[in-house]
Amino acid sequence: MRHSTAIVVLVLICVLYGTSQAGELKCLVTRGGAPEASVRVTLHPGAMRLATDASGTCVFTGLAAGTYRVEAVKVVAGRRYGAVQQAVAVPATGGARVRLKLTRAIYINQYLPVSVGNVWQYKSIRTRADGTREVKTRRERAVGTDTVSGATVTVVEVTWSGTTDSMKQLVKSSSKGYGVFGEARSGDTMTYDPPIMVPNLVPVGHTIQVAFTIKHSSGAPDEAGRMRLTLTGLGPARVPAGAFADCAMFKGIMQTAGKTDQMQMVMARAVGQIRSVERNPERVLVRELEEYKVKPVRPTLMRPGTLRPAIRKPAK
């Protein structure tokens, strides 16, 4: 009898000990300063999901100690709102709290479609520090797929008018986000380790920061790189290809090989990048979309007038 009682006590101690070692995360979600119900909150890694209650609260229990990315998203009157906390530490015992303030948000894969067969044509203007200008036509075409670091990526071939020079970009757009895995040019394939990834949910005001290493197939030394990118707003934009509603405006910095580029980008939903400006002490590079042909992106969510079915002029 004493032996059986000892076993029961031991089991109870183990259960209680295991419970005490489970972390807890309480999330409070607001929109416009008020608690927001029925918001989908997701933890990564693990993709655990809960919905907020009437008080804007949800509680994740039984969590292993570690650092989690917390995402909150809700569609209100046809508009997506979201919030992200990049690194939330959950202890092995006790709990953690996080407040998430919803702002307008996008899914980046809907703004950077890269289906094979898509084509984009840009007017590219390079103004050097001495004031001289160079105007070219830049053409991007998604020509196929490849495998990089175990991932299937889309190969985007880039060419310029007036030159036989070209390069290939290795990118991936999916429900997990948008990633740049590398590029190939002049006999050298540069692989980014880890890939430059933008998680799919991007709220206005949220900043993504990525550190990576550039590895060269040519045998050149590895280079350290760093990117910082912020979604600054949403709104209409006009370029030579037309007027677009619901565009995403980004501002960022790219640092590679001791060089820093200041970047501004405008992306149109279901079309792609329609305008970009890159600045460094040596030059200013402006690209604006002139023509494009893209396959539909989740047609049930597309808005009329935001997608041209084909390039307006025949490809030369």
pLDDT one-digit tens code per residue, 217-269: 999 999 999 999 999 999 999 999 999 999 999 999 999 988 999 999 999 99
- CB within 8 A of 78, min separation 6: which ones? none
CATH 2.40.360 region(s) of the chain?
111-301
Q: Two tokens at 243?
A: 């007027």
Model-wide pTM > 0.85: yes
Task: Indicate the pLDDT class of residue 69, thresholds 50, 70 and 90.
Answer: very high
Q: Two tokens at 44?
A: 């990564």
pLDDT, residue 298, reads 60
277 burial via Cβ count (<10 Å: 0-12, 13-18, 19+):
middle
How far apart, in whole angstroms, are the C-alpha atoms of residue 123 and residue 119? 14
Q: What is the mean pLDDT of residues 286-290?
A: 98
- Give the three-state DSSP class for 232: strand
End-to-end Cα spacing for the chain:
91
- CB within 8 A of 63, min separation 6: which ones? 22, 23, 24, 25, 43, 90
CATH 2.60.40.10 region(s) of the chain?
2-105
How far apart, in whole angstroms, are the C-alpha atoms of residue 287 and residue 125? 6
Q: Which CATH class is domain 2-105?
A: mainly beta
How far apart, in whole angstroms, are the C-alpha atoms of residue 260 and residue 247? 26
Q: What is the DSSP string of 254-281?
A: EEETTEEEEEEEEEETTTEEEEEEEEET
4 versus 9: which is more confidently predicted?
Answer: 4
Q: What is the mean pLDDT of the chain?
A: 89
7 versus 142: which is more confidently predicted?
Answer: 142
Q: Two tokens at 122?
A: 């840009």
For the domain made up of 111-301, give the CATH fold.
Answer: YmcC-like fold (2.40.360)
pLDDT one-digit tens code per residue, 30-44: 999 999 999 999 999
Q: What is the largest CA-CA distance in the chain?
A: 95
